[in-house]
Each structure stands twice: as C-alpha cells, then as structure tokens.
Structure 1
C-alpha cells in the first residue's frame, strides 16, 4: 500500500475509532450499524462468520450474543485466538464444499446467523472483481443451506454490478425478507453493499 493510502487511513474516523475502542478492524462498525438497523444478532445466538480475519466482526458478534451464544470464525488466514470460551476459529476455504462438514463439526447446533465480510483478491478489472465477489456470496449461501436453522438470518458483502440482480433473486428464493444496505462506515466511493436475508426457508 502506498504512503497516500496510509495517510488517508490514519485520518479515517472509523480507523481511529477502532484503535481507540480496541476493535481489530474498522469494519466492526459496519456490522454494528447493520445490526442496529436490522436486528441480526441476539443473545444466545450461534453465529458463523465467513471470511472472518482479522476478527473485527467476530468481536461485535461476541458482544451481541453474550456468554450464552457461540461464534465460529472461518478464513483462509489464521485468526488470532480470542480469550472467549465461546469463540472458535478454523482455517478453511469457504468456496470449498468440504468446509460445510468442518463448520458443522464445530458449531453446537444449527446456526442462527451467517455473516460474511469476505472480499476477493482484487485484480483491478471490475467485471472480474465483481464476479468473484458474487461467487463468495453464493458460497456463503451454499453454506447457509446446510448449516443455517429455519428462520435464520444472513448478511454478506458484495460488490455492486451487473450480476447483482441474479444474485438477489437467488437470495430471495431462500429468505422471506431481503434488503440491500450500505452502512455509513463503508468508505466513500466504495462499491460494496450488504445483502441482508431474514427468515431462512429451509428446503431440506
């Protein structure tokens, strides 16, 4: 990353706030804002966080579910462990079908919520990057089909673009309520939005 990017990051309100409040990522505030608006996380919930490194969303989820809940973080990178007994992390690829079994083995019961702030490796070619982003959401949906409890909730980041319409159709087939939202913590000029699904229709 260039020097200009580093300077802009240090000036960023949410970056500085995350340092002050000891969150691992400024992205924590995106989840906080979306949760406040849509009521995604509750005390006692089992939450699966896909693409969880470095753990900023896990921190927020742990705060919301409390000691009675459980949070599993999944990422290709190793996530620094949490002191919480109800927080578990695994190194795995969310696009690999075998990840479903790994997740199922670690959660105490079907998940109440699946969240994903996963981003693809950026190529700089917008159509390619958006397609990769959409595929990550579809991978999260495939995981939801196997591990999410009936009536469960879903939240995933996606880059806006030509493939959004078909993706939203797919989400609407699986959830009673679907919304697209962009929290104020998202950087200005960012093409990211978040797809929210509530009321999972269990098909099995």
Structure 2
C-alpha cells in the first residue's frame, strides 16, 4: 500500500510522523499510561520486542527528557494559563480564589527547583530495550539484540542495568530484581487463522512473562500485548497468581476491528518460595506427556449408565467429565461453573475487568478522515534498519543477483 493511501486511511499514522514518533503504537502506550499512571515511581524499565523502538522512544521522552503528553500536558498548560491570569488580573480574584490558584500551580522558584530534581532523577533512569531485530539508537536507551527466551539474556540485561552486577550474587536478592516496569509490545506475524495466532501470541506473552518474573521487584508492573479469544480467561487467572491487579485495556488508538488488547498487571507479588528462571520457565514445554498422564490418573472412572425416556432406553458411553454414578443408573455430571469470582480452586472462572483507554474526543483509529488539499505526506521518522524485505529491495535495485539454479 502506498504512503499517500495509508495517510488517508489512518489518522494515528499521520500523527505519529507529525509528532516525531517512530510508529503509531506510541499512542497506545501513552493512552495506557494516562489511564494507569504506569510511569509513576519508575526508574528501571525493560522494553521487550522493542523494534522499531516507538515504546522505547516514549520512555525516553517521558522518563529521561521529562516531556508530558495527554492529560498531564493539558493540566500543566491550564495551570500555566491560570497563573498568568493571576498575575495580570490579580484584583479580579478573591483571596480564596488566589489561594486556590497558588496551591494548584508553582511559582518560578519552585518550578526551577523541581526541574533540578527531575534532571537529577532522570540521570538515575535506566531503560533497556531487547529485540532480535536491530534498533536504531535512542537517547538514554540501552539496546540489546538478544533472545528473550534464552537463559543468558537475564544476566546480560542485569549487567546493562547495573554495570557492577555480579552474576555470582545470591539469587532472589534485591540487587538482582531492580526493574520497576516490564513492557512487551511484541506480536507474531499473523496468519489469519485466529486460533493459531492467539496461541502463538500467548506463547510470546509467556516468554515475556518468564523474563519479567526474573527481574521484576515486588510491587512492579507488567504490560504486554494479547490477542483476545476463547478461553483467554485461563491466561488472566495465571497472571493473577503473580500480580494483585490484572486488567485488560483497549486503547482508542488500537483498531476496534483488531483482536489486539493489552494486559496490565500491577503490584507484582510472587508466591512464597517461588524462584523464577528461564531454564525452567512457566508453561508446559517438554513436560506435556507427563502432565497428560498425571491428569488422566486424576480423572474419575465413570461406569456406563442407561438413560431412560418416554420412547425407550438407550446406552450412554462413559462420561469424561467429573461425575457420580448411583445404583439407580442415573449419572450426575458436574457442570463447569462460569460464575465470575476469585475462587479459582473450585473451577470458577476469573474474568479480568476490561477498560477502554483514551479520550473519546480523540481520533477514531477505524475511521477515515478527509485530508486538506495542501497536505504533504511525510516520510517515516525512522525507517527500519534491517527489514525482512531488504533482500528483495536489493535484488530489485540490481545490487545483487539471485544465484542461478
């Protein structure tokens, strides 16, 4: 699809280039932060599956440069205007109104002092971006080209956060769990087969979660992309084991026609005695056969029952669900309880709350907006360094010729 046609289709695509973002996904993180205040009290951040770096760019501009966007930027502008009005029309305000404005705004000296504190705090911010694809450099961001499923990635990550990190340190100490926030915006190349795409995405989320469990400090946050589908509540219940609050969020910049959403996990609290390791990650893996055999041994043995109706009788094969047989030939089958609740041990489902993020007055990501006649299409802020189609472009340009068969 050509550049001009995409500009006409997606408003956030145009806004990303106009505001200097590498990709439109930057608005998703900004809207998530506006709803959940993800960046408060955060100084150590890990961005997984970071290429091309739009989320890392948001982290750099917010945490390191101190820029504000969305509601917080509007509040600052409003406070500045009210402070200017107080200086120009001081006689028009009552003492109570003056006191209210002064309490809600800063004086010049206080603002300068606060900027000094922010500058000192920004020097302590450490942000690490990890991806298999190369990422163009960003101010204040350490980029690693590594596999998030490999056990060697965790020591590499901890060394990037703290140059004095000692791999021989005792596992589970605070020095080895320095991360406040772990983000993952990774997604597989979709095939169009929704069940397959949802499964592959869930495995990618588990890979990000396994790494997050190795480095998150108690009280940390975890945000990752998910594809909503059938039985996704099982994933919510698994995340609820490690985090106090698990919420599904859909930013307004995410197209409503997409199954994409974001799982926001707050207040990391691992179970007592839990030790995370990429060598023994969560999930099934090679233990599938063992788990299946153990599950089969736990299932009750149900004898065949004869069911009777007005037309006669017929035989019913053994029921595979938990059941109880009586001498009268009646079989009582336990029905799966779909009542929402936190009692997951009794088979009840736990359904995460759903929140739509973003101002309703913002652009609709599924709508098409008319462009002005004098509109000029802009180039991408940061073209990909090594796109998958690079080889095809070189062959087309004649830089290299395909080998003869």
Relative to the length of structure 1, the TM-score reads 0.91
Deviation at 1:59, TM superposition (A): 1.0
Q: Counterpart in 1 of 2:126?
A: 70
**1:77-102 Cα deviation digits (max 9, x unpaired):** 000011x2x31001112233332222
1:13 Cα shift? 1.1
The aligned runs of 1:151-190 (5 Å cut-off) are 151-190=219-258
Contact 1:46 1:111 in 2 (8 A): yes
Q: Secondary structure at the match of 1:133?
A: helix
Report matched runs for 1:38-187 at 5 Å.
38-42=36-40, 45-66=43-64, 67=122, 68-82=124-138, 84=139, 86-108=140-162, 110-187=178-255
Secondary structure of the 1:187 match is coil
RMSD: 1.8
Deviations 1:157-181 (A, max 9, x none): 0111124111111110010111001
Closer, same or farther: CA 65–132 of 1 in aligned 2, 3 Å:
same
CA distance in 1, matches of 2:52, 2:257: 23
Contact 1:44 1:70 in 2 (8 A): no
* Residues 192 and 69 of structure 1, relative CA distance in 2, 3 Å threshold: same
Tell me how far apart the structure 1 counterparts of residues 218 and 230 of structure 2 sit (CA, whole Å).
30
Residue 76 (structure 1) shift = 1.1
> Is 2:81 aligned against 1:13?
no
Consecutive unaligned residues of structure 1, counting only runs of 5 or more, are none
Secondary structure class of the residue paired with 1:22: coil
Normalised by the length of structure 2, the TM-score is 0.47
Rounded to whole Å, the distance in 1 between the matches of 2:161 and 2:49 is 16
Q: Which range is displaced more, 175-184 or 43-52?
A: 43-52
Distance 1:59 1:43 in 2: 19
Q: Find 1:200's aligned residue among 268, 283, 287.
A: 268
Over 3 Å counting, the alpha-carbon distance change for 1:188 and 1:42 in structure 2 is same
Are 1:43 and 1:64, in contact at CA under 8 Å, matched by a contact in 2? Answer: no
Structure with the higher strand share, 1 or 2: 1
Q: Which runs of 5+ in 2 are unaligned?
A: 65-121, 163-174, 276-405
Looking at CA atoms only, which structure, 1 or 2, has the larger radius of gyration? 2
Instruction: Identify if the C-alpha distance between structure 1 residues 31 and 163 changes in structure 2 by more than 3 Å, giving closer, same or farther.
Output: same
Contact 1:81 1:89 in 2 (8 A): yes
Question: Residue 48 and residue 176 in structure 1: after superposition, are their counterparts in 2 closer, same or farther (change >3 A)?
Answer: same
Distance 1:96 1:193 in 2: 26
Given that residues 180 and 216 in structure 2 are in contact (C-alpha distance below 8 angstroms), is that contact kept between their aligned partners in structure 1?
Answer: yes
The residue aligned with 1:22 is 20
